[in-house]
Each structure stands twice: as structure tokens, then as C-alpha cells.
Chains A and B, each alone.
Chain A
């Protein structure tokens, strides 16, 4: 086993971000519960935020932080509206399984 480096290369952060994004995509595609699918989207947004902040370190500017801040605001708005939609769907259909909600398909 090679010795650990003293400092962390920035590419490790980017790789971690890619792994988290891939797991978010996997959750989005695999899960059948509408709330878990929604949480996977939040995981993808978080992974992208990590990339923004890592690049902000690389370029020595705070612009990446501000982009991540806007992503956070959009995620908050999206969570409020999305959970409202989930509540309405549950009120009308009494189910949270996404493959049972297929009116548009037929």
C-alpha cells in the first residue's frame, strides 16, 4: 500500500462528487417510492454542489460558492413544490408507488 499523501488532490473531491451523482442516478432509476426518488434528486444536487465548491477552490474565486448557493435555493423551492405535488397525488390515488401512477400511459 502506497503511503498517504500529505494533502488531498482536488481530483479526489471531483471523483467523490461523481460517485455521489452516480448513486443519485441509481436511486432515481431503481426506487419505486416517489419520496425516495425525490430524495435521490436532492442527492444529485448535493453532488453537483460539491463539484462547484471544489472548482471554486481551484480557481480561487467565490463564484462557485454563489452558484452552489443558488442551487440550494432552487432545491428548497423544488422541495416545497414537489412535496406539495406528492401530497396531492397521495390524496387522489392513495399510493406512493410510481409504477401504479400511470394514467398518462394508457
Chain B
């Protein structure tokens, strides 16, 4: 059952990612990216990361992608025009991509020959309790610095969105 679920959602993720790269219209790419994120949320659940699955759906597929779709519609972005260079790159890119995947598969098999088998429910610490405990004890300083980062991002976005620039 785990294998079937993994294969289904891995296929959805890869197909959506391929669609993101190949689609000509930005709004189609955005919808494909939402598909990738939803499939990844299910894979996180299979890995026992319940909190991260919820955060993935709420923060990524919810907030960030709404921002993307909003900007695409605001700017009225149309289909992009293919250029001569991109056609050359495409014929060079597919062998390079295959080579990259092959090299990564070789490294994974060489360096991690004895990885665990993932079964649903094999890792139960991924709920909010343990993450919250770690976040507010061991990782308290990075967590607080994160709030500073968000503050800087808010100020930066407001400055960039002013009329005078």
C-alpha cells in the first residue's frame, strides 16, 4: 500500500514538475507548481511529517502560490516567445538532465546503501508537539531571527511597491 501511494504521488509530482517546465503560459506553470506542492504534502505525510504536510499546504500551496497567481493576473502575463538560444539549449539540456539524474542515482546507491525502509507510521515524532518543543528550546535563537527576516521582507515589499521607484 505504501509503495502504491508513493508511486502515485511521486508520478504526480514529477508530471506536474515537467508540466511546469514545458508550459508556455505562466498561469499553467503556477497551477502545475500547486500540483507538485500538493503531491509533496502527501509524501511528507507518508514520511511521518504531519506538521510539515499541513504547513506545506497552508504556507506554500496556499499563501505563496496565491501571491504568484495574483501577480501573474495583475501583470496580465501572456505566453512567452521561444527564442533561438532556448531551442539550442533544449537539445543540449535533455542529455545533461539524464546524466545528472544518473549521477545522482549512482551517488545515492553508493553512499546510502543501507537506508531505512519507509513505512507509514514508522516515525511518530513529526507532529506539532515535538517540533514545537524543539523550536522553542534548542532552536529558539534561529526562530527569533526568522521573525526579523520576515519583518525585513515586509518592509522591503512595502518599499518596492511604492509609486516613486
Q: Which residues of A contact B (CB under 8 A)?
A: 4-16, 18-20, 22-27, 29-33, 35-36, 38-40, 42-43, 46, 49-50, 53-54, 56-58, 60-63, 65-66, 68-70, 72-81, 83-88, 90-92, 96-97, 99
Contact with A along B64-108 (1 / 0, CB 8 A): 100110011011010011110110011001000100110011001
Give residues of chain B (111-147) contacting chain A, Cβ–Cβ below 8 Å. 112, 115-119, 122-123, 125-126, 130-131, 134-135, 139, 142, 146
The residue from B55, B93, B154, B157 contacting A26, defined by CB atoms under 8 A apart: B93
Q: At the interface, is chain A mostly helix, strand, loop or mixed?
A: helix
In the bound assembly, the distance between CA atoms of A77 and B44 in angstroms comes to: 22
Q: Which residues of B contact A (CB under 8 A)?
A: 2-4, 6, 10, 13-14, 17-18, 20-21, 26, 29-30, 33, 36-37, 40, 43-44, 46-49, 51-52, 55-56, 59-60, 63-64, 67-68, 71-72, 74-75, 77, 80-83, 85-86, 89-90, 93, 97, 100-101, 104-105, 108-109, 112, 115-119, 122-123, 125-126, 130-131, 134-135, 139, 142, 146, 149-150, 152-154, 156-157, 160-161, 165
